[in-house]
Structure 1
Amino acid sequence: MARKVNTDDFDPKKRYPAKDRQGNTITGVFYRYARRADLKGLEKSYVVVFKTRDDSGKVKTVEESVGKEFKDKMTPAKANRMRMALIEGRQKTKREKAEAEAGEWTVQDLWEFFEKKKGDKLKSFRDDRYRYREHIGKHLAKTRVSELEKKHISGIRGRMEGTHKPQTIRHVLLLLQRMVRYGVKEGGLTYPPSLSFDMPTVKNEVTEDLTEKQLDHLIEVLNNHPNKQIANLMKMAIATGMRRSELFRLKWEHINYERNFIKIVTPKGGTEVTIPLGAVARYILENHEKLDSPYVFPGKNGGQRKDCKTAVRSLVEKLDLPKGFRPLHGLRHTYASMLASSGEVEMHVLQKLLTHKSPAMTQRYAHLREAAQHRASDVASSILSKMGNGNGQDGDSR
């Protein structure tokens, strides 16, 4: 039988045994005496007791503290209602809540899941890992995914604006967006109700180009470079305008010498396409060393190449390229600029050669074609003007 506690003899320095649980007229509802927060006596601390089954089906007795007499305004009736809610599963015990919180994913948990499942498949994995570490994980690693909201997106933008380009900020936000969506799709998470992404505006109209002199120097360096794999990779970018990722995925089986075309697998536009195999590109490939790999420009152990930054960097150091010129991406622009400025290639043809999904992407080169047309018009005007000026006949011989 539990010991009775005399509240008149309460000693604030004394610890009262937890086993002193007092009974009530309501089944399953008990209380213990506990010190009040102001140390001016005791108050009843109510507990409820009930039986339930664990995951294995074994019956276990649960004792749950539900509140204090004065602090929580708890009564036996109120404690009983909470007991019934616990029994019926309408309310979780403190232990269940703690386990649920411990099991709820943080942003770091989500990243580790995303990295494990998608890391080997992502072309941009190395860049994504840096973006997460520097701009997401450093500030949001311990934040629960369910608590992500617009203010966190604004925080990322606020920290990066002024020191990073809009495109870089966009890449970071897109990574977080992909992570959340993947967690919802594959991890069983619920999309955070207050989360929305406000992406920065990116004006992707930069056209990198080389002068004729710079291009001649580049080709000369490539012709004499000892790393023929990288040299020919860059030559193909000039000769075909293929993207870096498309060159990395290029296999020998994708090259049709009989019909003179190159098949581009999974291009940026999405649909598999073919582009012409010109005489220069054909010469490069026919004289390119074929290694023990299905890939034309293989990576480690003959697999698909993932990167070439180190090799290209050593080559670029020997060149006098414009500031901010990105070697492979810039050479693609150089290819497009050469065609557009010739005045002989229609914009819709150039769009197909560059495998642009939208004509808007090709329009950045329209001014070059217009300039070529104006030059042609000026030549025609110069010739025709002789028909009516004082330096030649006016056409009437009488």
Structure 2
Amino acid sequence: MTRQFNFTKQAIESLPLPESRIEYRDDKIPELRLRVTPKGIKSFSVFKRISGGHPVRVTLGKYPVLTPVKARSLALQHLADLCGGVNPNEKRRVDALAEITLLEVFDAYKKSRSLKKTTLTGYEGVVRNHLARQLNRPLKTIDRKIVADIHSKIGSKAQADLTMRVLRALFNFAKYEYCYQDGSSIFSENPVEILSHRKQWNNVRRRQTHLRPGELSLFYRALQSVKATETPTGKSICDAMLFALFTGLRRGEIFNLQWRNVDERAKIFTVMDTKNGLPLELPITDTIQDVFSRQSKAFGSMYVFAAENSYGQIREPKKVVAKVKQLSSTSCDFHDLRRTFATSAEHLDIGSYKLKRLMNHATGRDDVTAGYVILTAETLRHSAEKIQKYFMERILPE
């Protein structure tokens, strides 16, 4: 029920407590309203229908902090805006969004994406190490000059480009996330694009290190030598490195492989924790079975490549890998082994679709043929055996 009277302090003070919330109109400015709750809370607002018949309510404040005289003054200001087609609520929302900081955008971005833990850790590392000074700065103040300065001052060219790619992603997110009422963006410009305009991206060439055919035996002998003197966890890391060479899988995919995803009867194993989020089913060859057999006797962990720690799995293999690298004088980091697998597969003329599936690389959406090619573990078995035979012939030459 709506009632009307001249808003004065005396009249407002004398209002009875209602059983449910009630709203009053002001005699002088009918669009000025006073709401009273059963608890005696009194608040001023402006209520007006604008073009199109849409009702707009603008909250002004609570009585007695806001007096009737001040409430009328504010009401007239907002009514002028409404008559001019400006919604004060929308303006307030836009003004607040225009002040949003880089940290707030980053937090919103993380919540909106289903990021893998490793990806999230990488993003947070980039932000913490290279964008820390900008985190509390409003996004709108991060301009082209600031972007160019940050990019030029990062010592590592690869890290500089990575930082800018993360920043570009945050601006692109903000462009579509924070908009005016008509759908246009509050942050229409992405200042990171200045690097493309000026051709300032470092475009660091991807690493090319891998094991050459003549280095495979050096790697294997060093691996066996290190393994002979290592702890159970170290031995597990050595087997994981050999497994990486034989399968071309990523380090995280290997470390997260669990026994429940190994079906020795069907001779297949499934990598669940992949980079693209899609399970990868691969064949268990005789070579892979030998690795599984050794690992099954080593630990009682749920993980195939287990470790003597609270996690039950390998977390950081760098010390063991460094020993193998030093002893063999080869490049044999986990990603070097993945490149070795891919390079050797190409040398053996393994089909591109099979190689992509073995390495769990996604095919482009415009590749219509790929959508019809169904590659099962059995389809991949011959190719996997061919690659592993190639390695064994060079690891253990007759």
Is TM (by shorter chain) over 0.5?
A: yes
When Rg is computed on C-alpha atoms for both structures, the one with the higher figure is 1
Name the residue aligned to 2:287.
Answer: 280
Q: Which residue of 1 aligns with 2:327?
A: 319
Q: Contact (CA 8 Å) 1:148, 1:195: kept in 2 or not?
A: no
Matches within 5 A, 1:336-355: 336-341=342-347, 343=348, 345-355=350-360
Who is 1:245 aligned against? 252
- Counterpart in the other structure of 2:340: 334
TM-aligned CA distance change 1:228 to 1:320, over 3 Å: closer
Partner of 1:154: 148
Determine which of 98, 106, 124 is the counterpart of 2:101.
106
Q: SS state of the match for residue 282, structure 2?
A: strand
Structure 1 residue corresponding to 2:362, chosen from 352, 357, 362: 357
1:63 and 1:170 mapped to 2: Cα distance?
A: 54
- Per-residue Cα deviation, 1:326-352 (whole angstroms, up to 9, x for no partner): 6111112223344444x4745554343
Q: Which amino acid aligns with 1:137?
A: A
Instruction: Report the Cα offset of residue 106 of structure 1.
Output: 1.0
Number of aligned positions between the proteins: 291
Q: Which has the higher contact order (CA 8 A, sep 6+)?
A: 2
Pair 1:214-2:218 in alignment: yes
C-alpha distance in 1 between matches for 2:303 and 2:244:
16
Counterpart amino acid of residue 220 in structure 1: Q
Shift of 1:107: 1.1
SS at match of 2:253: helix
Q: How many Å separate the matches in 2 of 1:321 and 1:192?
A: 51
Structure 2 counterpart of 1:261, from 257, 265, 268: 268
The letter for the 2-side match of 1:169 is A
Q: Indicate how the Cα distance of structure 1 residues 158 and 314 shifts in structure 2: closer, same or farther if over 3 A, else same.
A: closer
* TM-score, normalisation: structure 2: 0.56
Identity among equivalent pairs (%): 18
Shift of 1:253: 2.2
SS at match of 1:194: coil
CA distance, structure 1, for counterparts of residue 218 and residue 138 of structure 2: 52
| 1:296 matched residue in structure 2 | 304
Residues 1:112 and 1:280: Cα distance change in structure 2 (over 3 Å): same
Structure 2 residue identity aligned to 1:175: V
**Do 1:247 and 1:297's aligned partners in 2 also have CA atoms closer than 8 Å?**
yes
Q: Contact (CA 8 Å) 2:240, 2:254: kept in 1 or not?
A: yes
Describe the SS at the equivalent of 1:295. coil
Q: Distance in 2 between matches of 1:326 and 1:219?
A: 10
Question: 1:298/1:169 Cα in 2 relative to 1: closer, same or farther (>3 Å)?
Answer: farther
Structure 1 residues 229, 55: CA separation in 2 closer, same or farther (over 3 Å shift)? farther
Answer yes or no: is the 8 Å Cα contact 2:175–2:188 preserved in 1. no
**Aligned partner of 1:124 among 119, 122, 132:** 119
Structure 2 residue ranges without an equivalent (≥5): 1-27, 30-43, 47-57, 368-386, 391-398
CA distance in structure 1 between the partners assigned to 2:282 and 2:299 by the alignment: 24
Q: Which residue of 1 aligns with 2:17?
A: none
- Call closer, same or farther: CA 1:104–1:284 in 2, change over 3 Å: same
In 1, distance between residues paired with 2:113 and 2:187? Answer: 21
Shift of the alpha carbon at 1:302? 3.8
